[in-house]
Amino acid sequence: MIDGKVNYGVVSTAGIAPRFINASRCTDNSIFTAVASRELEKARVFAAENGLEKYYGSYRELYADSEIDAVYIPTVNLTHYQCAKDALKAGKHVIIEKPMVMHKWQAEELFALAREKGLFITEAIKVLYLPLIKKVKSIIDSGTYGKIRFMEFKQSYVSGRYNSGWMKQKEMGGGLIYGNEAYFLSLCDYLCGGVKDCRTLVTYGNFNVENQLCVSLLLNGNILATSCVSSEVLFDNGLTVYLERGRIVIPDYWKARKAYIYADGKLIDTLDYPVEFEMQYELQHFSECIISGKTHSDITSPQLSLRNMEICEKLLQQRDECIRV
């Protein structure tokens, strides 16, 4: 460690990586010093642009660096499992960007390997650490507006990485189900305590992965939740939680900064939690776990990731049974 801070390296120069690195600079226990890419020049440029001391032309070189305590993995979905397995075998703590892996058995194997080696591993599901989401949870639990009866999630991408490259390739782990299941399912678990049943319908465009989907969940407490995701049209993105005596609207819920509370059809309160790099809260927690010797988080726990992946596998099976027009 460096001055009591967990020293991280990142494998891949993915677009999300600079945001995670900048988030570390908002914590008091985390620091990034190295990057690895399959192309040395890409790693060199990335290191210079992001203020990192070291760069490597292969992931294994970074894993072999004795000064690196932990590895952040934001690579192509298909490669999460092997990258995490290699890092654990090299003695590194591991944070994997969501979705953790592509199959439940892979997650089970990684959690078991981490326990065996006394290393920390977790899936990065930032939404569960956001101050605004925690505040919304406390309001719901207070019963002020009654119990949750329905939740509506909407998320759309009409440009950017979800509409191009490997995200359009099924064999690489692309598609909207893998891209969104962690946030949607984790919030349902956090706010309502679990999923009892799931159904999905999808449409396909010019690629072999879904371009739109609608997921319906039956949650504990006789609560329904829907998630609509599209790369074809632009929604009014966000989460609306419908309670017996009001509703809470959270724009861009996966990086929530604001929420609006309505009762009797009128806006009665606004919650405002500005933050530049929303990943700082999860990273602060992950480093605290590593420093204290834990092998997993109690928030983004192994049980949560395994439940999410089990549901995701059911949704993917239903996806593949949908008629292509």
Q: Residue 82 phi/psi, 5° resolution?
A: -70, -40
Q: Which strands make up the sheet holding 6-11, listed edge to edge?
A: 54-56, 30-36, 6-11, 70-73, 93-97, 121-124
How far is Cα 215 from Cα 69, in angstroms, rounded to an integer? 39
Taking a C-beta distance cutoff of 8 angstroms, is the pair 199, 216 a contact? yes
How far is Cα 308 from Cα 100, in angstroms, rounded to an integer? 10
What are the angstrom distances between the C-alpha of 130 and each of 146, 176, 267, 271, 316? 23, 23, 23, 13, 28
How far is Cα 130 from Cα 285, in angstroms, rounded to an integer? 11
Task: Let me know if 98 is a catalytic residue.
Answer: yes
Q: Is 40 helix (H, G, I), strand (E, B) or coil?
A: helix
Active-site residue, selected from the candidate residues 5, 54, 92, 98: 98
Taking a C-beta distance cutoff of 8 angstroms, is the pair 150, 247 a contact? no
Closest CA to 214 of 164, 172, 152, 127: 152
DSSP assignment letter at 2: B
- Who's near 114: CB < 8 A, 6+ residues apart? 88, 94, 120, 121, 295, 296
Sign of CA dihedral 238, 190, 162, 8: positive
Tell me which residues are annotated as active site. 98
